[in-house]
């Protein structure tokens, strides 16, 4: 099975092409003309150039593939328009190109727990609280609208961590210094190691299941954030880590000031207040029970082992002093 992967040069994408190849698929990376493809070249993964904004090159890129995993996008943009263009806009463009081309066996959209919004594992429906979450929810709606003509599946992972990730690196660095700032009261959060996330995505590509399913992807053990911080401290060689609670009002003021400075300087509106809103939620928890039941998937990397591996990777690469 030949699988076209968008976002193939990123943290999740490179892990996904490795997993697809290990599972007997032929991964192909969809890249931009300016993308650095060193990681894919080293793996021997072929690439095809196309523009997910304009659609240029997509027809050719999709011509002989059996499945697509849309893992591009994410929350790295600094303004509202870019967030929606990266997530909702690219999904619309890609789905239009898929609909106009040869039939696919599966289209998998990598969405996010943010599309559902905060809460416990039993929370159903969609109630995003940030622009990122709303852009992902809109991408999901576009995808589900095609479920009668394209076999579609939506994956909603929570925070993805593991070697090569840069988003959680500041947390590990803080732990190495002996203290970690955490917002407000204690929180719980579902997590997923990158290897488990890509094994779930590979299963969604390869396993037969009804079109239109939405699956959360998590490791089965929601983490208390303070306990998580202490585990990270131990993994980077700190027997004792001081957890510093940052008052909610301090975070709100900091977010508002950051956005205000961005406007004064004539820059795009930064999404700092969205990030503060995320951080202040008491629970970001989900359940992968339906994924286990439908596809027989199960996580293999426990959080403690995943943190140890990630810390060792950071230390080996000299990213933590």
Class of residue 283 by CB neighbours under 10 A (exposed 0-12, middle 13-18, buried 19+): middle
d(CA 219, CA 142): 28
At 76 the pLDDT is 63
Question: 82: pLDDT confidence band, cut at 50, 70 and 90?
Answer: confident
pLDDT of 321 higher than 60:
yes
d(CA 134, CA 217): 19
Condensed to tens digits (0 to 9), the pLDDT of residues 175-229 reads 999 988 888 777 899 999 999 999 999 999 999 999 999 999 999 999 998 899 9
Class of residue 63 by CB neighbours under 10 A (exposed 0-12, middle 13-18, buried 19+): exposed
Cβ distance 16 to 71 under 8 Å? yes
**Predicted TM-score (pTM) of this structure:** 0.93
pLDDT of 271 higher than 70:
no
Class of residue 277 by CB neighbours under 10 A (exposed 0-12, middle 13-18, buried 19+): middle
Query: Strands 26-31, 242-246: parallel, antiparallel or unpaired by DSSP?
Result: unpaired
At 122 the pLDDT is 64
d(CA 182, CA 185): 8
CATH number for the domain formed by residue range(s) 2-164+191-221+285-302: 3.40.50.720
At 266 the pLDDT is 47
Residue whose C-alpha is closest to residue 157's, from 194, 103, 211, 186: 194
User: What are the helix and strand counts (H, E) for the chain?
Assistant: 13, 14
Condensed to tens digits (0 to 9), the pLDDT of residues 21-45 reads 999 999 999 999 988 999 999 999 9
Map residue 207 onto helix, strand or coil: coil
Residue whose C-alpha is closest to residue 118's, from 287, 288, 282, 290: 282
pLDDT of 291 higher than 90:
yes
CA atoms within 13 A on the CB side of 125: 5
d(CA 10, CA 22): 18
d(CA 130, CA 272): 10
At 262 the pLDDT is 58
Q: What is the DSSP string of 111-125?
A: --GGGT-SB-TT--S
Percentage of the chain exceeding pLDDT 70? 92
d(CA 268, CA 285): 31
Question: 135: pLDDT confidence band, cut at 50, 70 and 90?
Answer: very high
pLDDT of 286 higher than 90:
yes
- Which residues are CB-contacts of 40 (< 8 A; sequence separation ≥ 6)? 8, 9, 14, 17, 29, 31, 47
Identify the weakest region by mean pLDDT among 31-45, 129-143, 274-288, 295-309. 274-288
Structure tokens at 207: 């396993």
Question: 277: pLDDT confidence band, cut at 50, 70 and 90?
Answer: confident
Output the average pLDDT for the chain. Answer: 90
Kindly list the domain boundaries of the chain, sorted by start residue: 2-164+191-221+285-302
Map residue 13 onto helix, strand or coil: helix
Long-range Cβ pairs for the range 257-263 (8 Å, 24+): none
Class of residue 162 by CB neighbours under 10 A (exposed 0-12, middle 13-18, buried 19+): buried
Dihedral angle, C-alpha 11, 44, 2, 4, nearest 10 °: 40
Question: 276: pLDDT confidence band, cut at 50, 70 and 90?
Answer: confident
- Which residues are CB-contacts of 44 (< 8 A; sequence separation ≥ 6)? none
pLDDT of 261 higher than 70:
no
At 79 the pLDDT is 77
At 111 the pLDDT is 97
81/234: higher pLDDT = 234
pLDDT of 78 higher than 70:
no
């Amino acid at each position: 099975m030949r699988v076209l992967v968008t976002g193939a040069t990123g943290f999740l994408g490179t892990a996904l092409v490795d997993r697809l190849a290990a599972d007997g698929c032929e991964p192909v990376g969809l890249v931009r003309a300016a993308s650095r493809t060193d990681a894919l070249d080293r793996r021997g993964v072929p690439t095809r150039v196309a523009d997910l904004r304009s659609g240029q090159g997509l027809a050719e890129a999709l011509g002989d593939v059996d499945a697509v995993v849309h893992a591009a996008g994410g929350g790295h943009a600094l303004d509202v328009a870019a967030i929606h263009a990266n997530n909702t806009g690219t999904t619309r463009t890609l789905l239009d190109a898929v609909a106009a081309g040869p039939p696919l066996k599966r289209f998998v959209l990598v969405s996010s727990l943010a599309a559902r919004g905060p809460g416990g594992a039993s929370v159903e429906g969609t109630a995003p609280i940030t622009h990122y979450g709303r852009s992902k929810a809109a991408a999901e709606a576009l995808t589900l609208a095609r479920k009668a003509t394209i076999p579609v599946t939506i994956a909603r992972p929570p925070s993805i961590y593991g070697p090569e990730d840069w988003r959680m690196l500041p947390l590990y660095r803080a732990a190495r210094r002996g203290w970690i700032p955490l917002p407000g009261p204690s929180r719980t959060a579902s997590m997923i190691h990158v290897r488990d996330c890509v094994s779930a995505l590979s299963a969604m590509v390869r396993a037969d299941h009804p079109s239109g399913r939405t699956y959360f992807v998590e490791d089965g053990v929601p983490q208390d954030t303070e306990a998580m911080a202490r585990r990270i401290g131990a993994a980077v060689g700190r027997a004792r880590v001081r957890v510093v609670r940052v008052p909610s009002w301090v975070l709100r003021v900091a977010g508002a000031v950051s956005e205000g400075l961005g406007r004064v300087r004539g820059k795009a509106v930064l999404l700092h207040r969205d990030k503060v809103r995320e951080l202040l939620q008491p629970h970001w928890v989900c359940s992968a029970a339906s994924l286990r039941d439908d596809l027989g998937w199960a996580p293999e990397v426990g959080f403690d082992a995943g943190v140890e591996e990630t810390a060792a990777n950071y230390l080996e690469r000299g990213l933590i002093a």
